[in-house]
Amino acid sequence: MEMKKVMVIGAGQMGAGIAQVFAMAGYEVKLQDLQEAFLQRGMKTIEKNLNRQVEKGKLSGEERDQTLSRLHPTVEVEAVKDVDLVVEAIVENMDVKTKLFAKLDELAPEHTILASNTSSLPITEIAAATKRPEQVIGMHFMNPVPVMKLVEIIRGLATSEEVYQVIYETTKVLNKVPVEVNDFPGFVSNRILMPMINEAIYTLYEGVATKEAIDDVMKLGMNHPMGPLTLADFIGLDTCLYIMETLHEGFGDDKYRPCPLLRKYVKAGWLGKKTGRGFYVYE
Ligand code: CAA
Ligand code: NAD
């Protein structure tokens, strides 16, 4: 099974990063989203990242131009008709994802592997929306994608060994480190990370300390590169809430109950850095 043409669906912060690393590794990449404006925003982010690398002398101007020439933005989901691998990076919502996977299953060639960058949702359930569950797999990149080395690889119940091996090897071609995890809510990364973030939000909600103090404690005391509230803003508060809901529902344990303050911010549309306001305000 040779992976040459890739389609990344969703040109948000994850999709743009994923498209960038595939294009840098030499793949032809279609980047799909619902509107031209979202595609332009994603392409602008990629260009900015590549230009920064050129300024730092880590990439030549020619390499940047070649990378950009391998990226093909489109609003047409039908563009999946000639790709070998799809990596889905749309909103963290099971209904929306299963509808998309059912459509991709109809349109994509028989051999195409359908991977999801979901942060927490069961791969087995996403796979069940298709007639090719053995070719559906989790490929969970970390944010910011061009920087972070880890990719969690999640097998659904039906994922074939061959598909697992192809995705494992493809991850290495991207210069990332694949780590195999089982299909449980939140996998490993978000089962551990997100309750910590949720607890930090409870700590703020209960008035234990200011947001700055909470972040300083974890940065200066535990050497985390970002405090948990800054990290929540960076990930997106909508995504954090979806992940906590998946953990809460999936395990049925109240220790995963999303903090009411998190719900309130999401209802207000304060989704973090991407909307200019979350726990902090961004210019
Ligand atoms: N996109 C691309 N590159 C970026 C970037 C971005 N958003 N932000 C920083 N970088 C690059 C910089 O260009 C720089 O590159 P070089 O080394 O080539 O010069 C490098 O990253 C370091 O950047 P800075 O020196 O400016 O800043 P920093 O040292 O503070 O690092 C950081 C920035 C890497 C983001 C760091 O703060 C960090 O590691 N934060 C925590 C990130 C984290 O925990 N990610 C996981 C989130 S959870 C997740 O992804 C899973 C999920 O499902 C929710
Ligand atoms: P985002 O909000 O930045 O981007 C999502 C993009 O998907 C938007 O541009 C939106 O227009 C597009 N989209 C929505 N529905 C679509 C559809 N049906 N077809 C095509 N495009 C569609 O979100 P994000 O932070 O990039 O997260 C995307 C996925 O990656 C989620 O599943 C999330 O859980 C996961 N993830 C997020 C992070 C993170 O730190 N933010 C880390 C790892 C994984």
Q: What is the pLDDT of residues 230-252, one digit of tens each?
A: 999 999 999 999 999 999 999 99
Q: What is the pLDDT of residues 1-55, one digit of tens each?
A: 778 999 999 999 999 999 999 999 999 999 999 999 999 999 999 999 999 999 9
Token couple for 150: 């880890």
State pTM to two decimals: 0.97
The number of the ligand nearest the C-alpha atom of 121 reads 2
Q: What is the pLDDT of residues 60-107, one digit of tens each?
A: 999 999 999 999 999 999 999 999 999 999 999 999 999 999 999 999
Ligand 2 surroundings by CB, under 6 angstroms: 9-15, 32-34, 38, 89-92, 96, 100, 117-119, 141, 143, 235-236, 239, 274
- Is the pLDDT assigned to residue 116 strictly greater than 90? yes
What is the rounded distance in angstroms from the CA atom of residue 35 to the CA atom of residue 32? 9
pLDDT at 3: 86
The number of the ligand nearest the C-alpha atom of 196 reads 1
Closest CA to 132 of 101, 90, 93: 101
Ligand 1 atom 11: residue of nearest CA: 147
Q: 212 CA distance to ligand 2 centroid (A)?
A: 28
pLDDT at 1: 74
**Contact at 8 Å (CB) between 47 and 71?**
no
What is the rounded distance in angstroms from the CA atom of residue 179 to the CA atom of residue 188? 10
What is the rounded distance in angstroms from the CA atom of residue 192 to the CA atom of residue 186? 8
pLDDT at 2: 79
What is the rounded distance in angstroms from the CA atom of residue 134 to the CA atom of residue 110? 12
**Contact at 8 Å (CB) between 282 and 276?**
yes
- Is the pLDDT assigned to residue 126 strictly greater than 80? yes
pLDDT at 80: 98
CB within 8 A of 100, min separation 6: which ones? 9, 77, 88, 90
Between the CA of residue 117 and those of 85, 91, 197, 208, 260, what are the distances in Å? 13, 10, 20, 35, 27
Max Cα–Cα distance, the chain, nearest Å = 55
pLDDT at 88: 98
pLDDT at 190: 98
Q: What is the pLDDT of residues 147-200, one digit of tens each?
A: 999 999 999 999 999 999 999 999 999 999 999 999 999 999 999 999 999 999
Q: 209 CA distance to ligand 2 centroid (A)?
A: 31
Phi, psi of 32 (to 5 degrees): -115, 140
